[in-house]
Structures are given as C-alpha cells and as structure tokens.
Chain A
Amino acid sequence: MFDLLPHVLNGLTLGLLFALIALGFMLIVGLMEQINLAHGSLFALGAYFAMQLLGPRPPLPPGITTAWLALPLDWRYAATLILAPLAAGLVGIAIEFCMRRTYGKDPMYGLLLTFGAAMVIEETIRLTWGTRDYVLQVPQAINGGFLFGDLIWSTYRFYAASIAAVIIGLVWLLIEKTPFGATVKAGAHDSEIVRALGINLTRLRLLVFFFGTMLAAIAGIIVAPIWGIRPHMGVDAVIPAFLVIVLGGVGSFWGAVVAGLLVGLAVGLCGAYASEWSLLSMYVLLVAVVTFRTRGLWGKKSVLEA
C-alpha cells in the first residue's frame, strides 16, 4: 500500500498536467465546435516565447534588454507567465481570422486550416530558433526536489500541478459563472438567436480562440521544464489533448478534467508496475470507454457526430 501511494500521487499530478494541456483544446472544440489541430504548435510557441523572454537576448533595444535581464529571475518568470501567452494569443487571433470563412461549413475545412497553421508554426519555430533543444529556466524556489517519506519528489511538478489546478478552477468560473461564458455557450448552441439578440458573435468567437490559445501557451510554459523545448514538442501535446477530450466527452469541462486525471493515473501506475504499457495505457483506456460510451464519459452531441 505504501509502495503504491507515491505512484497514485504521481499519477494525479501528471493527470492535472494532461488536463491543463487539454483545456484550451476543449474550450475551442466545446464552445466553437472547431477542432484546432494547431493546439500543439501553439503550446510549443508558448514555451519558445517564454524561453526567449527569460533568456539572454529578448528582442528589445539593448538598454531595455539590459534592464530586463537585471531583474531577478522570479520577477521575469512571473512576467513571462503573462506576456508569453499574450504573444501566443495574438498568433491565435491571426488563425481565427483565417478560420472565419469555415464556420458553419464542413468541419473538414477547419481541420485542414488548423493543420496547415500547425505546420507553418512548427517550421517558423525551426527557422527562428533552429532544431536544437532548449531548457526553460525556472526560479530557484520551484526548482529541485524535496523529501516526502523516504523519496525525493520534484518541487516543480507539484508547482506545475498546483498551477494547473488553479487555472482549471479559473476557467470553470469564467465559463460557468460569468455572463461572458453564458453568451459564448449560447452562441455555440444557437448562433442565429444570439445574433438576433444583438450580440457580436464574431468578437465572442475571436475572444474564445484568443483565450484557448493563451491556455495552450500557458500549458506549454508549465510543461516545458519537464519535457524540454524542441520544435516538435507540440506533437507530444496535441495527441494526449485530443485523447483527453474524446475520453471525457467533447464539450464537457469536467469530463476533460476527470479524463486528464484518469489518463495521468493510468500512465503513472503503468510506468511503475507495467512500464512497457505506460504510453499505450491511455489508448487502452480510451478504447475501453468509447466501446461502452461512444460520446465519452460526459459527452454530448457534437461536431464529431455532424
């Protein structure tokens, strides 16, 4: 039992990270019925922007750069957590502008467009930062390990899981408890009525995409110190994100969160007790669930059944 406990805890922290990675993806699929295949690339872009801002040469005039780098790493890191997702959000806005003509049409158009955007972003990353790997600096306070029982645990992983939990909570509040969330959900359900009520649906969708992109970028920044930063890191993110959304049920907020935790537990426990199954376990879990519940754990009729 005491041998098992560390692996359950590890699985849950990993699950929160999976849920965080899937959150922006879920938002755009659930509220706009658009499958954003560029999610992984935007995730990577967040990590690269953060690395650029924290690193030795942010793209600013020399004087400002010197002043910026003179700040303590903790401050720069805190600022980066806001600035890098905002910068990635602007890229998201550009993608949304291109996507507008696909709304209400065959979902294949949106899929192809975001797939193309993913390729463009990944190649731009290669051209800008090269193919080498980078490490994201993090403040000393959240680095290193601590003793829990007789095992050393990663401080950063618990920080990352805590941030993920907080962001999940904030997103839930925004969607479920604010007029903005209610309007967006109404727009996804019946856009004509929402337009008839005089609400600017175009602007709402833009905001949702901007917000979803920011979440992808935040996930990239949080996960980067664990996975490392490399051009194709987005591919490693988009597959679990997609899996978590389908497993939880497309459009279901809590479905995505619970699915993320389940996937984390499956991967963590298999890593310890049946290691060769650890990555495969998430796919087995998906097959087991959709065999009995085709719409996932808490799914509703959605774009995937259109």
Chain B
Amino acid sequence: MKKREISRRSVLQGSLMASALAGTASYFGPWKENRVWAQGTKPIKLGLTCDASGQYGNSGQDDLRGIQMAIDEANAKGGVLGRKITWITADTETTPATGSRIAERFITREDCTILIGAVHSGVANAITQVAAKNGVIYLNTNSSAPSEAGENCSRIKFVWDGNGTNFSKASVQNAVNSIGKNWMLLTNDYVWGHTTSAATKTQVEAAGGKIIDNLLVPQNTRDFTAYLLKIQQAKPDVVATAIGGDDIKALREQVAQLKLDGKPAWINNQQDWPDVWGAPNSLFGVFGTTWYHKLALPGVPEFVKKWQAANKEGSIPVPGNVSYNGYMATRELLRAIARAGSTNNVKIIKELENLKVSAADRMQHFDAYMDPVTHQMQQTIYLARRNAKPSDSTDLYEIISWTEPKAVADTDAAAKCKLVPYEQVPTVDS
C-alpha cells in the first residue's frame, strides 16, 4: 500500500485553496451579512455578552436562553419596525478583560448596536465602559452589585436584576429582630461581594445588629472548611453570605455536609436558579430572588411551558430568575424600540427611562418601573427558603415573602450615580 505523506507544501496549497473557495463562496453565496441591505430592511443586530465558562458559565447560558426566547418571539411576529432581529454571542468567560474585548469586537467589527447580558458585575462594568465610549446601549441582565446602578451606572446601561441592597433590605431587619444581633459576613472578594456585604452591614447596623467579622473569600474557592471552622469558633447568630456562582455551590455542599445549615442561621443575599439546580438537597437558609417558576400568578404556567418548548435541549428543565431577567430585559428593549419608532440610541434610552411594566405583564406581585436616575429596574423582591413539601422535582423554593419595589429601593445608589447628559452620548443608529 502506498504510504501517504502530508508535506508542508501540500498543507499550504490546501489552505490557500480552501481560503479562496470560502472567499468566493461568501462573495457570491446567499450569506445575508454580505448583502447590501435596502434602507429599513437591514436586521437589527444584537451582541449577547453571555458567559459560557468560568464561575458563571451556567448562569450565563441560562441568561442566553431567556434572551433568545424574547428575540424568537419578536421575530415570529415579524421583527421590530419591520426588521428582523439577529444576534451573535461569544463566551465572556466570567473575565472582565474578555468581556471588554468581546464588547469591542461586537461593536467595531460585528456591527452590533446593542449589547445584552452579564452575570458577573466585574464583567458588566468592563462591558459598560466599552459600550459607553461608543454610545451603544447595554442591558445588564443579571449582575446585581449595587455599584452597577450606583457609582458604575451609565446613561447607556440598564440594570434588570435586583441588587444586593434590595435583597438586604428585604431580609435583614426581620432577621435581626427574630434571630439575633451578632452577624458574620462571608464575602466573595470582588465588586459584587464587597458592595453587597457593605449594603448588608449598613442594614444590620441600622437594625441594631453588629458585624463581628467579615471573611473575604477569593473567587474560585472550592474548599470552605477554614471559613466554616472560623464561623464555628466565632458562634454568630446569623451568617450573611455574598458568595456567587460555582463558589456558592461548593459552600452549600460543605455547609450541608457539616450539618451547619440550622445553626447559625444563614442569609444568602441572592440565589440564582442555575446555582441551585445541581444540588437541591443542600439548599439552606433564607435567600432572595426576583422570580420563581411556581409563583401563583396568572401567566406564569404559560410562560414556563413556552420556555420549555423553546429549550428542550437545556440542562435545566424550568426557567429561573436568570433566564427570566434575560427574557424580560430583551422583551422590554424590543418593545421600547417599537414605541420609539426608531433605532436611534437616545430615543430608545428615553423610552427605557420611562418604562413602566404592570405586575401582570412582568408576572410579579407589584408593578415595576425603571428608575430614570439610576437605570435600575425597580421590582418585587422575593424571599425564599427550601421547600420542605415540593409538588414536583423542580419545586425547590418556598416563597415566604414578597416586598414592593419602593420598600427595598436602593436609595444610596441615586446619590452615587451620575449620568452624562444625552448630548454627550455618541449617536448610534442601527
């Protein structure tokens, strides 16, 4: 049998041939991105900056499912302003530098005029800076550092999740009164953790409690035993965690294993659904959320069915708060474009700043509105705990309270947020 050898020359020749064929095909072929579009029929292209790997890889992909669903719904109705919505996504890797690089590429090379998606606040802040420089609207769907609507706010950015202050306000006062005054903080050592724990500290002290220690947990910590030993030695009444993503999953496992989930009491600022799904048995303490798929509200069962039909292949069987936020943010953006009758960025921004959504439309208990000063969605905040009597395998939460937006408003954020005048926003039009 003749031995076949691949020489460097043949590889080069093959590569050149393949490049030539690909180039020719894309020039003449039916690939829409190379066509010259008639005015008004060019698709509106969105850049979806969702993590697919790193600490928030799971959450980022769940965010993407919700965003895609809202886009598909709009396209099924003929798009927006008679224009189809197209999108591109890339893994922002839960890394601010990657987020920044991808945002730059989406805007300058991929011609995206709106960016959507983030779970990690550091990534969101990095994307914001690139978007602001270019005047591109950016929807921060799921990162919840108070700083995102405070000192890191931006005229072009809209924040859709509840933040650490909202969740603290919903939970701390009651916990200080009913459980105890000595609190310990367990804080992920990055912007969300720090700002969330700072918000908790303010609330605890205002309620007459005391912070006896704050343990900073580096991101990607997998072994929490040293922290748990320290907590046992300090004997606090309550431990308030601001730990996210894969880190909180590891922490939950270890707390449950040591049976420390009863005493001290645990308050986990927010619990994202993808972080819960893998290990329901270690769900402990009281935690905050913005939505739950078993909320006894009209429209929720239909939404869940629609989401399931759109995400048959997903690893998570029901929509959670992350997917919900991605969906709601994208749906409201597309509606805002339709109401503005234009893709001009300032016109859309003004529409979003005046956004009001009824409780029924948002499938929450209270009406929601966009704060025009901080650009954060003001919405119902739910407190939950593990459901002792689940109705099915997905029924992990027992919703124990719902608080209206004004009662948990982050009043400090308004003082810290300085939005630039509209005239200073570079003009962008799709």
Show 22 A/B contacts (Cβ-Cβ < 8 Å), sorted by A.
A6-B229, A6-B233, A7-B226, A10-B226, A131-B315, A132-B277, A133-B279, A144-B257, A144-B258, A151-B232, A152-B258, A152-B260, A227-B222, A230-B249, A232-B57, A267-B226, A271-B224, A272-B229, A275-B230, A276-B216, A276-B218, A279-B220
Residues of B with C-beta under 8 A to A66? none
CB contact list, B221-251 vs A, under 8 A: 221-227, 229-230, 232-233, 246, 249-250
Q: Mark A32-44, 1 if CB is under 8 A from B, else 0.
A: 0000000000000
Q: Judge whether B259 and A144 touch: CB under 8 Å.
A: yes
Q: Does A56 contact B (CB under 8 A)?
A: no
Q: Does A53 contact B (CB under 8 A)?
A: no
CB contact list, A244-273 vs B, under 8 A: 267-272
Q: Judge whether B58 and A131 touch: CB under 8 Å.
A: yes
CA distance A152 to B258 in the complex (A): 7
Given contacts A132-B58, A152-B258, A232-B54, contact A225 B253 (CB under 8 A): yes
CB contact list, B57-114 vs A, under 8 A: 57-58, 61
Nearest-neighbor residue (CB-CB) of A268 within chain B: B226
Nearest chain B CB to A88 CB, angstrom units: 20
Q: Judge whether A133 and B278 touch: CB under 8 Å.
A: yes
Residues of A with C-beta under 8 A to B218? 276, 278-280
Q: Does B403 contact A (CB under 8 A)?
A: no
Q: What 7 new A-B contacts, CB under 8 Å, besides A225-B257, A275-B215?
A: A7-B230, A135-B278, A150-B232, A151-B229, A228-B278, A236-B222, A268-B225
Nearest chain B CB to A32 CB, angstrom units: 27
Nearest-neighbor residue (CB-CB) of A6 within chain B: B229
Q: Judge whether A131 and B227 touch: CB under 8 Å.
A: no
Residues of A with C-beta under 8 A to B233? 3, 6, 151
CB contact list, A132-188 vs B, under 8 A: 132-135, 143-145, 150-154, 156-157
Q: Does A55 contact B (CB under 8 A)?
A: no
Residues of B with C-beta under 8 A to A132? 58, 274, 277-278, 315-316
CA distance A77 to B307 in the complex (A): 38
Residues of B with C-beta under 8 A to A280? 218
Given contacts A131-B61, A151-B233, A156-B257, contact A272 B220 (CB under 8 A): no
Nearest chain B CB to A128 CB, angstrom units: 12
Nearest-neighbor residue (CB-CB) of B235 within chain A: A150
Count class of interface residues, chain B? 35 or more
CA distance A268 to B229 in the complex (A): 10
Centre residue among B220, B226, B281 by max chain A CB count within 10 A: B226
Q: Does A78 contact B (CB under 8 A)?
A: no
Residues of B with C-beta under 8 A to A153? 258
Nearest-neighbor residue (CB-CB) of A146 within chain B: B258
Q: Mark B400-427, 1 if CB is under 8 A from A, else 0.
A: 0000000000000000000000000000
Q: Mark A266-293, 1 if CB is under 8 A from B, else 0.
A: 0111111001101110000000000000
Nearest chain B CB to A248 CB, angstrom units: 20
CA distance A131 to B259 in the complex (A): 28
Residues of B with C-beta under 8 A to A7? 226, 229-230
Residues of B with C-beta under 8 A to A278? 217-218, 221, 226
Nearest-neighbor residue (CB-CB) of A232 within chain B: B53
Residues of A within 8 A of B (CB): 3, 6-7, 10-11, 14, 130-135, 143-145, 150-154, 156-157, 225-228, 230, 232, 236, 267-272, 275-276, 278-280
- Ranked 3 nearest A-B pairs via Cβ: A271-B226, A133-B278, A130-B315
CA distance A14 to B189 in the complex (A): 21
Q: Judge whether B258 and A145 touch: CB under 8 Å.
A: yes
Q: Judge whether B278 and A134 touch: CB under 8 Å.
A: yes
Residues of A with C-beta under 8 A to B232? 150-152
Q: Judge whether A228 and B258 touch: CB under 8 Å.
A: no
Q: Judge whether B226 and A133 touch: CB under 8 Å.
A: no
Q: Does B308 contact A (CB under 8 A)?
A: no
CA distance A228 to B224 in the complex (A): 13
CA distance A14 to B58 in the complex (A): 27
Given contacts A135-B278, A278-B218, contact A10 B225 (CB under 8 A): yes
Q: Does B173 contact A (CB under 8 A)?
A: no
Nearest-neighbor residue (CB-CB) of B230 within chain A: A272
Residues of B with C-beta under 8 A to A276? 189, 216, 218
Task: Choose one: B53, B257, B282; the contact of A145 (CB below 8 Å).
Answer: B257
Residues of A with C-beta under 8 A to B57? 131, 232
CA distance A35 to B410 in the complex (A): 51
Nearest chain B CB to A124 CB, angstrom units: 15
Residues of A with C-beta under 8 A to B230? 7, 271-272, 275
Given contacts A130-B315, A226-B253, contact A14 B260 (CB under 8 A): no
CA distance A279 to B220 in the complex (A): 8
Residues of A with C-beta under 8 A to B430? none
Nearest-neighbor residue (CB-CB) of A3 within chain B: B233
CB contact list, B191-218 vs A, under 8 A: 215-218
Nearest chain A CB to B219 CB, angstrom units: 8
Nearest chain B CB to A135 CB, angstrom units: 5
Q: Judge whether B253 and A267 touch: CB under 8 Å.
A: no
Residues of B with C-beta under 8 A to A236? 220, 222
Residues of A with C-beta under 8 A to B223? 14, 226-227, 267, 271
CA distance A151 to B258 in the complex (A): 10
Residues of A with C-beta under 8 A to B260? 152
Q: Does B342 contact A (CB under 8 A)?
A: no
Nearest-neighbor residue (CB-CB) of B225 within chain A: A10
Q: Does B254 contact A (CB under 8 A)?
A: yes
Task: Choose one: A152, A154, A230, A275; the contact of B216 (CB below 8 Å).
Answer: A275
Q: Judge whether B250 and A227 touch: CB under 8 Å.
A: yes
Residues of B with C-beta under 8 A to A143? 257
Residues of B with C-beta under 8 A to A150? 232
CA distance A159 to B226 in the complex (A): 17
